[in-house]
Amino acid sequence: MSRNKIKKLAALVAIGAIPALTLSGCVTIRNYWQEYFGMDKSSREPTGYYEHSDAEVTNNRIVVPQSLDNPGINPELQLPVVNKKLLTGPVGEAVDVRAPTAPYRSDVGCHTQWSSGEAIVWFEHDGSHGIKTEDDAWMLLASVLKTMNVAVGKIAQGQYVLTTIARDFTEFGKPYDDTDADLGLKRYKQIYQIRVGRNAQGEIGIATKLVGSMTSLSSGTKMKDVLDMIEQERFAMGFSNQIIHENDTKNQQSAYDPDNLIVSLGQDNNNHDAILVEAPFETTMELLNGMFPRCGWKINSHSVAKAEYDVEVLDSADDLIKLGANIRLDIKHGKYKIRLGIHGSSTAITFYDEKDAPLSSQEVSRLYPSFADVLVDEFKSYSGASAHEVKAN
């Protein structure tokens, strides 16, 4: 082949390579072109062809600047010598340095405030909380006490004032339960005085005051009953925050219709097959406490913090649920873990076997129709008993 033809052939190859390099689908051609023929390295794309001959491995050394190798000393920051015998009050670890429970503010227009030894929940004029009169606040208080399992001991005649019966609480004003006992937390048997009134601006308020407290360890050992103002504020503010949480729950309940409750199959946030209920998380958990025994499922343990139940489906005739007609829950006998989770505006109920593996989609699908029927009926019964009346025991 003559030199002239070789030049023409080379020119044709070069011309054909230009459009190939501009096409997104010809990345491989462009890569090989850059590898064998070279190009301006300043405009090279990340093709994988790099020179590593100049790379060096260095020791990871920490270099201390000269000005920091001998830091200066400020004598004003030295701790003074104190005679321990002259100290009064708690010392060292005995000092309670924790801040009191933080005031809580709800997006429906209510907030808590600590004032003159009382923790007060204020319901603002322009809020969507639904509390407009003293009677509204009194009925809300009844619902809160029922949820917290706190009994009323005395009601002042003709006044919106009540005193609770002694009940065990944690150090943050939350009712003491079995989970707290397992953790070995301190137990405080306390009595509260609660009143409903208005401020100068005409806003409704529920004021809570701690009037009695006795401290004991989980082992039952009694402790010296000395509560400082920070502790009293922490207890009362924690109790008042429970009132706001309960009101938020009631507002969420009003957003769904128990008579048209939607229960569907889906997946939880872990992509496990689950039964989804378009209802508030707290309401669903409270409802399941009574529903499982009704189904003949024994609750071996229940963790509120983990939103988890350990249940056992017993080998008995209790699998038949009387609901208009008898309904059989299609699930094998044995031990299961049932976990609840918030899934958008719904509550996800996920089933796990004894080895903590999620049930298959086939097993969940078989259980779903009958479980949904029982769940809907339970919600209807629950909503019909939502009204409470404040009474002294």
**pLDDT given for residue 387 in this prediction:** 39
Q: What is the CATH number of the domain that holds 328?
A: 3.30.310.170
Give the rounded percent of residues in the chain with a pLDDT score beyond 70: 68
Residue 53 lies in a domain: no
**pLDDT given for residue 317 in this prediction:** 43
Question: Which of 221, 253, 285 is where one domain is finished?
Answer: 253
Interval 191-200: pLDDT, tens: 889 999 999 8
Same domain, 127 and 230: yes
Residue 242 lies in a domain: yes
Same domain, 181 and 105: yes
Degrees, nearest 5: CA angle 163-164-168: 145
Same domain, 141 and 192: yes
Q: What is the CATH number of the domain that holds 208?
A: 3.30.530.50
Same domain, 262 and 223: no
Same domain, 118 and 206: yes
Residue 4 lies in a domain: no
Residue 24 lies in a domain: no
Question: Which of 235, 253, 271 is where one domain is finished?
Answer: 253
Residue 11 lies in a domain: no
Residue 218 lies in a domain: yes
State both tokens at 344: 């958008």
Interval 257-301: pLDDT, tens: 666 778 889 998 888 999 999 887 878 888 888 888 888 888 898
Of 257, 252, 323, 239, give the one whose Cα is nearest residue 283.
Answer: 252
**pLDDT given for residue 203 in this prediction:** 92
Same domain, 235 and 375: no
* Confidence band of 222 (pLDDT split at 50, 70, 90): low
Residue 373 lies in a domain: yes
Same domain, 115 and 241: yes
Residue 81 lies in a domain: no
Is the Cβ–Cβ distance between 141 and 161 less than 8 Å? no
Question: Which of 191, 220, 253 is where one domain is finished?
Answer: 253
Same domain, 249 and 108: yes
Whether 185 has a pLDDT exceeding 90, the answer reads no
Same domain, 108 and 249: yes
Same domain, 348 and 303: yes
Tally of domains in the chain: 2
Same domain, 305 and 335: yes
**pLDDT given for residue 351 in this prediction:** 94
Average pLDDT over residues 121-134: 86
Same domain, 262 and 236: no
Identify the domain containing residue 177 by its residue range. Answer: 100-253
CA 144 – CA 64 distance, rounded (Å): 60
* Confidence band of 94 (pLDDT split at 50, 70, 90): low
Task: Tell me the sheet residues that pair with 323.
Answer: 325
List Cβ neighbours of 208 (8 Å cut-off, separation of 6 or more): 118, 119, 120, 121, 192, 193, 194, 236, 239, 240, 243
Whether 43 has a pLDDT exceeding 50, the answer reads no
